[in-house]
Chain A
Amino acid sequence: MKKSIILATTIALLSCSGETKSEIIIDEQNHQNAAYDLSYELASAVKEATTYEEFRSAADNLKAYQEAFRTQIGGESYLIFIEECNTILNE
Protein backbone atom coordinates (compact mmCIF):
# COMPACT_ATOMS: atom_id res chain seq x y z
CA MET A 1 0.00 0.00 0.00
CA LYS A 2 2.72 2.38 1.11
CA LYS A 3 4.78 1.44 -1.96
CA SER A 4 1.89 2.14 -4.34
CA ILE A 5 1.30 5.56 -2.76
CA ILE A 6 4.97 6.44 -3.18
CA LEU A 7 4.90 5.20 -6.78
CA ALA A 8 1.74 7.17 -7.63
CA THR A 9 3.18 10.32 -6.06
CA THR A 10 6.44 9.91 -8.00
CA ILE A 11 4.56 9.49 -11.29
CA ALA A 12 2.39 12.53 -10.55
CA LEU A 13 5.43 14.64 -9.70
CA LEU A 14 7.30 13.48 -12.80
CA SER A 15 4.36 14.28 -15.06
CA CYS A 16 3.98 17.73 -13.49
CA SER A 17 7.67 18.52 -13.88
CA GLY A 18 7.52 17.75 -17.60
CA GLU A 19 6.98 20.19 -20.47
CA THR A 20 5.57 23.44 -19.13
CA LYS A 21 5.84 25.46 -22.35
CA SER A 22 2.48 26.44 -23.77
CA GLU A 23 1.93 24.56 -27.00
CA ILE A 24 1.06 26.50 -30.13
CA ILE A 25 -2.12 25.33 -31.80
CA ILE A 26 -2.93 26.55 -35.30
CA ASP A 27 -6.59 26.90 -36.17
CA GLU A 28 -7.17 24.00 -38.56
CA GLN A 29 -10.45 25.41 -39.86
CA ASN A 30 -8.95 28.72 -40.81
CA HIS A 31 -5.30 27.95 -41.39
CA GLN A 32 -4.83 29.99 -44.55
CA ASN A 33 -6.03 33.23 -42.96
CA ALA A 34 -3.99 32.35 -39.88
CA ALA A 35 -0.93 32.02 -42.13
CA TYR A 36 -1.43 35.55 -43.49
CA ASP A 37 -2.31 37.15 -40.15
CA LEU A 38 0.34 35.46 -38.04
CA SER A 39 3.14 35.94 -40.57
CA TYR A 40 2.37 39.67 -40.70
CA GLU A 41 2.20 39.98 -36.93
CA LEU A 42 5.28 37.86 -36.14
CA ALA A 43 7.56 39.12 -38.90
CA SER A 44 6.63 42.75 -38.12
CA ALA A 45 7.61 42.14 -34.50
CA VAL A 46 11.00 40.83 -35.62
CA LYS A 47 11.52 43.76 -37.95
CA GLU A 48 10.38 46.45 -35.53
CA ALA A 49 12.31 45.22 -32.48
CA THR A 50 14.24 48.06 -30.86
CA THR A 51 16.63 45.97 -28.75
CA TYR A 52 18.48 42.71 -29.30
CA GLU A 53 16.40 41.03 -26.57
CA GLU A 54 13.17 42.07 -28.26
CA PHE A 55 14.50 40.85 -31.60
CA ARG A 56 15.60 37.48 -30.16
CA SER A 57 12.27 36.91 -28.46
CA ALA A 58 10.32 37.85 -31.61
CA ALA A 59 12.55 35.68 -33.82
CA ASP A 60 12.18 32.69 -31.50
CA ASN A 61 8.42 33.20 -31.49
CA LEU A 62 8.34 33.32 -35.30
CA LYS A 63 10.41 30.12 -35.52
CA ALA A 64 8.08 28.39 -33.04
CA TYR A 65 5.04 29.31 -35.16
CA GLN A 66 6.86 28.25 -38.32
CA GLU A 67 7.45 24.84 -36.76
CA ALA A 68 3.81 24.65 -35.64
CA PHE A 69 2.64 25.44 -39.19
CA ARG A 70 5.05 22.89 -40.63
CA THR A 71 4.03 20.07 -38.31
CA GLN A 72 0.31 20.79 -37.85
CA ILE A 73 -0.78 22.22 -41.20
CA GLY A 74 1.98 21.92 -43.83
CA GLY A 75 1.22 22.31 -47.53
CA GLU A 76 0.16 25.60 -49.04
CA SER A 77 -0.52 27.43 -45.76
CA TYR A 78 2.96 26.65 -44.46
CA LEU A 79 4.41 28.01 -47.70
CA ILE A 80 2.23 31.14 -47.44
CA PHE A 81 3.46 31.69 -43.88
CA ILE A 82 7.13 31.54 -44.95
CA GLU A 83 6.65 33.59 -48.13
CA GLU A 84 4.84 36.35 -46.24
CA CYS A 85 7.50 36.42 -43.51
CA ASN A 86 10.19 36.73 -46.19
CA THR A 87 8.32 39.54 -47.91
CA ILE A 88 8.00 41.54 -44.71
CA LEU A 89 11.54 40.92 -43.47
CA ASN A 90 13.10 41.78 -46.82
CA GLU A 91 11.06 44.94 -47.45
Chain B
Amino acid sequence: MKNNRKQKAILATIYTLFVVGLLLGTRCESRIHLTTPEKDAQHLAELAETIHTEADLREVERLAAQYEIAYRESYNGAKALYFKSLYEPILDEAGERRAAFRAEEDYLNAQETMLNNRISDLDMAWNMSLGSEAEELAKLAENDATIAAMRTELDALIAAKEQYAEEIIEAGYPQHMLDKIGTMEAEIIAKSKEVAEVEHKSSIIILANKLQQNRDLMIFEQPVEAPEMEF
Protein backbone atom coordinates (compact mmCIF):
# COMPACT_ATOMS: atom_id res chain seq x y z
CA MET B 1 0.00 0.00 0.00
CA LYS B 2 2.79 2.32 1.07
CA ASN B 3 4.87 1.26 -1.94
CA ASN B 4 1.98 1.94 -4.24
CA ARG B 5 1.61 5.50 -2.92
CA LYS B 6 5.34 6.07 -3.27
CA GLN B 7 5.24 4.89 -6.88
CA LYS B 8 2.34 7.24 -7.64
CA ALA B 9 4.21 10.17 -6.11
CA ILE B 10 7.31 9.39 -8.17
CA LEU B 11 5.26 9.11 -11.36
CA ALA B 12 3.48 12.42 -10.63
CA THR B 13 6.84 14.12 -10.03
CA ILE B 14 8.29 12.73 -13.25
CA TYR B 15 5.21 13.81 -15.18
CA THR B 16 5.33 17.34 -13.70
CA LEU B 17 9.03 17.64 -14.46
CA PHE B 18 8.39 16.44 -18.01
CA VAL B 19 5.66 19.05 -18.59
CA VAL B 20 7.74 21.84 -17.07
CA GLY B 21 10.73 20.77 -19.15
CA LEU B 22 8.62 20.71 -22.28
CA LEU B 23 7.27 24.19 -21.62
CA LEU B 24 10.70 25.59 -20.86
CA GLY B 25 12.12 23.89 -23.92
CA THR B 26 9.61 25.44 -26.33
CA ARG B 27 10.11 28.80 -24.66
CA CYS B 28 13.90 28.62 -24.99
CA GLU B 29 13.59 27.57 -28.60
CA SER B 30 11.54 30.61 -29.59
CA ARG B 31 13.50 33.01 -27.39
CA ILE B 32 15.65 35.54 -29.20
CA HIS B 33 19.12 36.01 -27.85
CA LEU B 34 19.58 39.75 -27.37
CA THR B 35 22.97 41.45 -27.43
CA THR B 36 22.78 45.22 -27.92
CA PRO B 37 20.33 47.12 -30.17
CA GLU B 38 23.25 48.17 -32.43
CA LYS B 39 24.63 44.65 -32.77
CA ASP B 40 21.20 43.11 -33.31
CA ALA B 41 20.34 45.75 -35.92
CA GLN B 42 23.69 45.00 -37.58
CA HIS B 43 22.78 41.31 -37.64
CA LEU B 44 19.48 42.19 -39.37
CA ALA B 45 21.36 44.41 -41.82
CA GLU B 46 23.60 41.48 -42.75
CA LEU B 47 20.56 39.25 -43.26
CA ALA B 48 18.87 41.98 -45.30
CA GLU B 49 21.84 41.96 -47.68
CA THR B 50 20.90 38.41 -48.70
CA ILE B 51 17.27 39.22 -49.52
CA HIS B 52 16.34 38.11 -53.03
CA THR B 53 12.77 36.94 -52.71
CA GLU B 54 9.53 38.08 -51.10
CA ALA B 55 9.86 35.15 -48.66
CA ASP B 56 13.37 36.30 -47.62
CA LEU B 57 12.04 39.79 -46.93
CA ARG B 58 9.13 38.44 -44.88
CA GLU B 59 11.54 36.26 -42.88
CA VAL B 60 13.76 39.23 -41.97
CA GLU B 61 10.69 41.31 -41.10
CA ARG B 62 9.44 38.50 -38.85
CA LEU B 63 12.81 38.26 -37.13
CA ALA B 64 12.94 42.04 -36.64
CA ALA B 65 9.49 41.96 -35.05
CA GLN B 66 10.62 39.14 -32.72
CA TYR B 67 13.67 41.16 -31.67
CA GLU B 68 11.48 44.18 -31.01
CA ILE B 69 9.09 42.14 -28.85
CA ALA B 70 12.04 40.62 -27.00
CA TYR B 71 13.44 44.11 -26.26
CA ARG B 72 10.03 45.23 -25.05
CA GLU B 73 9.65 42.18 -22.78
CA SER B 74 13.25 42.01 -21.52
CA TYR B 75 13.92 45.73 -21.12
CA ASN B 76 11.28 48.37 -21.81
CA GLY B 77 9.35 50.16 -24.54
CA ALA B 78 12.02 52.84 -24.95
CA LYS B 79 14.70 50.26 -25.76
CA ALA B 80 12.34 48.55 -28.19
CA LEU B 81 11.62 51.88 -29.90
CA TYR B 82 15.33 52.63 -30.11
CA PHE B 83 15.94 49.22 -31.68
CA LYS B 84 13.05 49.89 -34.10
CA SER B 85 14.59 53.21 -35.13
CA LEU B 86 17.79 51.31 -36.00
CA TYR B 87 16.28 48.48 -38.01
CA GLU B 88 13.44 50.26 -39.83
CA PRO B 89 15.68 52.06 -42.37
CA ILE B 90 17.45 48.74 -42.99
CA LEU B 91 14.15 47.03 -43.80
CA ASP B 92 12.98 49.95 -45.94
CA GLU B 93 16.15 49.68 -47.98
CA ALA B 94 15.74 45.90 -48.25
CA GLY B 95 12.13 46.43 -49.38
CA GLU B 96 13.28 48.82 -52.11
CA ARG B 97 15.90 46.34 -53.24
CA ARG B 98 13.29 43.61 -53.31
CA ALA B 99 10.96 45.85 -55.34
CA ALA B 100 13.74 46.36 -57.87
CA PHE B 101 14.29 42.60 -58.09
CA ARG B 102 10.56 42.11 -58.54
CA ALA B 103 10.44 44.67 -61.35
CA GLU B 104 13.26 42.82 -63.09
CA GLU B 105 11.48 39.50 -62.59
CA ASP B 106 8.22 40.93 -63.94
CA TYR B 107 10.01 42.28 -67.01
CA LEU B 108 11.69 38.92 -67.63
CA ASN B 109 8.37 37.11 -67.24
CA ALA B 110 6.73 39.52 -69.69
CA GLN B 111 9.51 38.89 -72.23
CA GLU B 112 9.20 35.12 -71.80
CA THR B 113 5.43 35.30 -72.25
CA MET B 114 5.87 37.46 -75.36
CA LEU B 115 8.25 34.89 -76.89
CA ASN B 116 5.96 31.97 -76.06
CA ASN B 117 2.94 33.79 -77.46
CA ARG B 118 4.75 34.72 -80.66
CA ILE B 119 5.83 31.13 -81.30
CA SER B 120 2.32 29.95 -80.48
CA ASP B 121 0.86 32.53 -82.92
CA LEU B 122 3.23 31.38 -85.65
CA ASP B 123 2.28 27.76 -85.00
CA MET B 124 -1.41 28.67 -85.20
CA ALA B 125 -0.84 30.61 -88.43
CA TRP B 126 1.04 27.72 -90.02
CA ASN B 127 -1.83 25.37 -89.15
CA MET B 128 -4.70 27.63 -90.20
CA SER B 129 -6.63 26.42 -93.24
CA LEU B 130 -6.95 29.20 -95.78
CA GLY B 131 -9.42 29.99 -98.50
CA SER B 132 -9.04 32.13 -101.58
CA GLU B 133 -7.71 35.67 -101.26
CA ALA B 134 -11.24 37.05 -101.57
CA GLU B 135 -12.46 34.77 -98.80
CA GLU B 136 -9.58 35.77 -96.55
CA LEU B 137 -10.24 39.45 -97.20
CA ALA B 138 -13.91 38.89 -96.37
CA LYS B 139 -12.90 37.34 -93.02
CA LEU B 140 -10.76 40.38 -92.26
CA ALA B 141 -13.50 42.80 -93.29
CA GLU B 142 -15.97 40.98 -91.06
CA ASN B 143 -13.57 41.18 -88.13
CA ASP B 144 -12.99 44.89 -88.82
CA ALA B 145 -16.73 45.53 -88.74
CA THR B 146 -17.02 43.61 -85.46
CA ILE B 147 -14.12 45.61 -83.99
CA ALA B 148 -15.67 48.91 -85.09
CA ALA B 149 -18.99 48.00 -83.46
CA MET B 150 -17.23 46.89 -80.28
CA ARG B 151 -15.18 50.10 -80.16
CA THR B 152 -18.36 52.16 -80.37
CA GLU B 153 -19.74 50.21 -77.40
CA LEU B 154 -16.45 50.60 -75.56
CA ASP B 155 -16.37 54.36 -76.12
CA ALA B 156 -19.93 54.61 -74.81
CA LEU B 157 -19.01 52.60 -71.70
CA ILE B 158 -15.96 54.81 -71.06
CA ALA B 159 -17.99 58.00 -71.49
CA ALA B 160 -20.69 56.70 -69.13
CA LYS B 161 -18.07 55.78 -66.55
CA GLU B 162 -16.42 59.20 -66.72
CA GLN B 163 -19.81 60.88 -66.31
CA TYR B 164 -20.61 58.63 -63.35
CA ALA B 165 -17.23 59.40 -61.76
CA GLU B 166 -18.15 63.08 -61.70
CA GLU B 167 -21.51 62.24 -60.12
CA ILE B 168 -19.71 60.21 -57.42
CA ILE B 169 -17.49 63.20 -56.52
CA GLU B 170 -20.55 65.45 -56.26
CA ALA B 171 -22.38 62.86 -54.11
CA GLY B 172 -19.39 62.51 -51.72
CA TYR B 173 -18.28 58.97 -52.63
CA PRO B 174 -21.19 56.84 -51.32
CA GLN B 175 -20.41 53.11 -51.20
CA HIS B 176 -23.24 51.98 -53.52
CA MET B 177 -21.97 54.37 -56.22
CA LEU B 178 -18.38 53.18 -55.76
CA ASP B 179 -19.61 49.60 -56.19
CA LYS B 180 -21.43 50.54 -59.38
CA ILE B 181 -18.39 52.26 -60.89
CA GLY B 182 -16.37 49.15 -60.05
CA THR B 183 -18.81 47.11 -62.12
CA MET B 184 -18.58 49.64 -64.96
CA GLU B 185 -14.78 49.40 -64.92
CA ALA B 186 -15.00 45.60 -65.05
CA GLU B 187 -17.29 45.87 -68.10
CA ILE B 188 -14.78 48.17 -69.82
CA ILE B 189 -11.95 45.72 -69.15
CA ALA B 190 -14.02 42.80 -70.44
CA LYS B 191 -15.01 44.70 -73.59
CA SER B 192 -11.39 45.75 -74.21
CA LYS B 193 -10.38 42.09 -73.97
CA GLU B 194 -13.04 41.14 -76.51
CA VAL B 195 -11.71 43.78 -78.91
CA ALA B 196 -8.15 42.53 -78.39
CA GLU B 197 -9.25 38.95 -79.12
CA VAL B 198 -10.82 39.86 -82.46
CA GLU B 199 -7.78 41.99 -83.35
CA HIS B 200 -5.59 39.01 -82.52
CA LYS B 201 -7.68 36.77 -84.79
CA SER B 202 -7.17 39.25 -87.62
CA SER B 203 -3.44 39.37 -87.02
CA ILE B 204 -3.28 35.54 -87.21
CA ILE B 205 -5.21 35.58 -90.51
CA ILE B 206 -2.75 38.12 -91.94
CA LEU B 207 0.21 36.10 -90.63
CA ALA B 208 -1.17 32.79 -91.97
CA ASN B 209 -1.67 34.28 -95.44
CA LYS B 210 1.83 35.70 -95.41
CA LEU B 211 3.48 32.48 -94.23
CA GLN B 212 1.53 29.95 -96.26
CA GLN B 213 0.69 31.85 -99.45
CA ASN B 214 3.07 34.82 -99.33
CA ARG B 215 -0.02 37.03 -99.57
CA ASP B 216 -0.13 40.51 -98.10
CA LEU B 217 -3.76 41.00 -97.20
CA MET B 218 -4.77 44.63 -97.29
CA ILE B 219 -8.22 46.02 -96.86
CA PHE B 220 -8.82 49.20 -98.76
CA GLU B 221 -11.53 51.54 -97.58
CA GLN B 222 -14.42 51.55 -100.01
CA PRO B 223 -14.90 55.08 -101.36
CA VAL B 224 -18.17 56.54 -100.17
CA GLU B 225 -20.50 56.90 -103.12
CA ALA B 226 -21.73 60.44 -103.71
CA PRO B 227 -25.49 60.75 -103.34
CA GLU B 228 -27.32 61.04 -106.59
CA MET B 229 -28.24 64.59 -107.44
CA GLU B 230 -31.86 65.23 -107.99
CA PHE B 231 -32.83 67.84 -110.48
Measured CB to CB, the residues of A under 8 A from B are 46, 52, 55-56, 59, 62-63, 66, 78-79, 82-83, 85-86, 89-90
Q: Are B123 and A55 in contact (CB under 8 A)?
A: yes
Given pairs A59-B123, A82-B112, 4 additional interface contacts (CB within 8 A) = A79-B107, A85-B115, A86-B118, A89-B119
Q: Are B111 and A83 in contact (CB under 8 A)?
A: yes
Q: Are B115 and A46 in contact (CB under 8 A)?
A: no
Name the B residues within 8 Å of A66 (CB-CB): 115
The 3 A-B residue pairs whose C-beta atoms are closest, nearest first, are A52-B126, A82-B111, A89-B118
Q: How far, in Å, is B200 (CB) from chain A's closest CB? A: 14
Name the B residues within 8 Å of A83 (CB-CB): 111
Q: A86-B118, A89-B118 are in contact. Are A52 and B111 (CB under 8 A)?
A: no
Q: Does B156 reach chain A (CB closer than 8 Å)?
A: no
Q: Which of B90-147 contact A (CB under 8 A)?
A: 107-108, 111-112, 114-115, 118-119, 122-123, 126-127
Contact of B114 among A52, A62, A86 (CB under 8 A): A86
Q: Are A59 and B108 in contact (CB under 8 A)?
A: no
Name the B residues within 8 Å of A46 (CB-CB): 119, 122
Name the B residues within 8 Å of A82 (CB-CB): 108, 111-112, 115
Name the B residues within 8 Å of A52 (CB-CB): 126-127
Q: Are A63 and B108 in contact (CB under 8 A)?
A: no
Q: A52-B126, A52-B127, A55-B126 are in contact. Are A63 and B111 (CB under 8 A)?
A: no
A23→B211 CA distance, assembly (Å): 31
A79→B107 CA distance, assembly (Å): 9
Name the B residues within 8 Å of A55 (CB-CB): 122-123, 126, 211
Q: How far, in Å, is B124 (CB) from chain A's closest CB? A: 11
A46→B211 CA distance, assembly (Å): 11
Q: Which of B146-187 contact A (CB under 8 A)?
A: none
Nearest B-chain residue to A82, judged by Cβ: B111
Name the A residues within 8 Å of B111 (CB-CB): 79, 82-83, 86
Name the A residues within 8 Å of B115 (CB-CB): 66, 82, 85-86, 89
Name the A residues within 8 Å of B114 (CB-CB): 86, 90
Q: How far, in Å, is B12 (CB) from chain A's closest CB? A: 61
Q: How far, in Å, is A69 (CB) from chain B's closest CB? A: 11
Q: Are B118 and A63 in contact (CB under 8 A)?
A: no
Q: How far, in Å, is B109 (CB) from chain A's closest CB? A: 10
A89→B119 CA distance, assembly (Å): 8
A21→B107 CA distance, assembly (Å): 32
A78→B112 CA distance, assembly (Å): 10
Name the B residues within 8 Å of A59 (CB-CB): 119, 122-123
Nearest A-chain residue to B126, judged by Cβ: A52
A86→B108 CA distance, assembly (Å): 12
Q: Are B119 and A63 in contact (CB under 8 A)?
A: yes
A55→B119 CA distance, assembly (Å): 9
